[in-house]
Amino acid sequence: MAKRELTIIHEKLAYTIEEAAELLSLSRTQLYRLIEVEELPTVKVGKARRITFAQLESFVRKLEQENGFVRL
């Protein structure tokens, strides 16, 4: 079987909490908890809080490592 590679195309550099929650298939409450315990970093733009694509990607890669996920 041929190796398949997933390519993620993102349109934005930073996402709202709601958008990031949707991308991660989490509720807003779950996402806010991750932010509160500093599991998921954010950036502030004025009074608005955003999560960059790089932060989301880093968070998911960390979860993969913690759960023994191996990239082929």
* Residue-wise pLDDT tens digits, 31-43: 999 999 999 999 9
Q: What is the mean pLDDT of the chain?
A: 87
In a domain, 35, yes or no: yes
- Compute the average pLDDT of residues 66-70: 80
In a domain, 3, yes or no: no
Q: Read off the pLDDT of residues 44-65 as tens digits, 9 standing for 90 and up.
A: 999 999 999 999 999 999 998 8
| Structural domain for 43, as ranges | 14-66
Q: Read off the pTM.
A: 0.77
Q: Where are the alpha helices (DSSP H) in the chain?
A: 17-24, 28-36, 53-66
In a domain, 55, yes or no: yes
**Taking the CB of residue 56, how many other CB atoms lie within 10 A of it?**
20
